[in-house]
Structure 1
Amino acid sequence: MEIFAIQGYVDLVVFVVLLAVKLFAFINSLLWSAESYEAAGKLTKPAWTIILGIGVLLQFIGILFILSIAFTIAAFVYLADVRPALAGLRRR
């Protein structure tokens, strides 16, 4: 029976880490102006905010596992592609 306890802890850690990633991406998306998104050539601020917000909501309630995976991928895309592009605008 201890294997099930270990699996429960692993599931909890994965849940918390993915929730933290999605929350970070969502909050970060709110910090940039709408003009920054347009200047970086990315989706609009409302689009990213809605996508990431829905991802946080689905992760928090823990339903629709397949959709949650899709929104996890969207959060990683934001963090790997959009966020660096927005940060690059500040350096110029």
Structure 2
Amino acid sequence: MVATLQLPIYLVFMFAIFGLAAWALIDLLRRPAAAFVSAGKRTKPLWGAILGVATAVSFAAVPFPKGIPTFPLFLALLCAVAAIVYLVDVRPAIAPYSRRRPPSSGPSRGGGW
């Protein structure tokens, strides 16, 4: 009885961790490398390596359908920690440096005759 409840809950947690890591990696890829330096955070390649490994490990942690979880849970939790640190600490810090600016329409015509 308990085992029939544990597997779906475990599966939901593993998919959530994978989704979180993938979201962090996709967000990282969309940010310019200069924003990391300007915000005083670690470099984009380092965060890319951390989140790339976290996404791969969290994908491997998702059990096969109707399978028994064999992957160590603590590794999946470390992946979640890496993604959460990026999303909660790094992402807000680099956001002001990576905003897109509206396209300029050329020289302004204001002022003067």
Instruction: Calculate the TM-score normalised by the size of structure 1.
Output: 0.88
The answer as to 2:66 corresponding to 1:67 is: no
SS of equivalent residue, structure 2 residue 41: coil
Match of 1:18 in 2: 17
Q: 1:64 & 1:11 partners in 2: Cα distance?
A: 12
Q: Extract unaligned runs of 5+ from structure 2.
A: 62-70, 101-113
Q: 1:43 & 1:81 partners in 2: Cα distance?
A: 11
Q: CA deviation at 1:64?
A: 4.9
Q: Is the 8 A contact 1:58 1:64 kept in 2?
A: no
Deviates further, 55-64 or 38-47: 55-64
Following superposition of structure 1 onto structure 2, how do residues 31-70 of structure 1 map, counting pairs within 5 Å? 31-62=30-61, 63-70=71-78
Q: 2:73 & 2:30 partners in 1: Cα distance?
A: 28
Match of 1:27 in 2: 26
Q: Extract unaligned runs of 5+ from structure 1.
A: none
Indicate the structure (1 or 2) with the bigger Cα radius of gyration: 2
Partner deviation per Cα, 1:17-36 (whole Å, 9 max, x = no partner)? 11100000011010011101
Q: 1:27 & 1:48 partners in 2: Cα distance?
A: 12
Match of 1:83 in 2: 91
Kindly report the root-mean-square deviation, in angstroms, between the aligned alpha carbons of the 2 structures.
Answer: 1.6
Q: 1:31 & 1:20 partners in 2: Cα distance?
A: 17
Aligned-pair identity in percent equals 36
SS of equivalent residue, structure 2 residue 42: coil
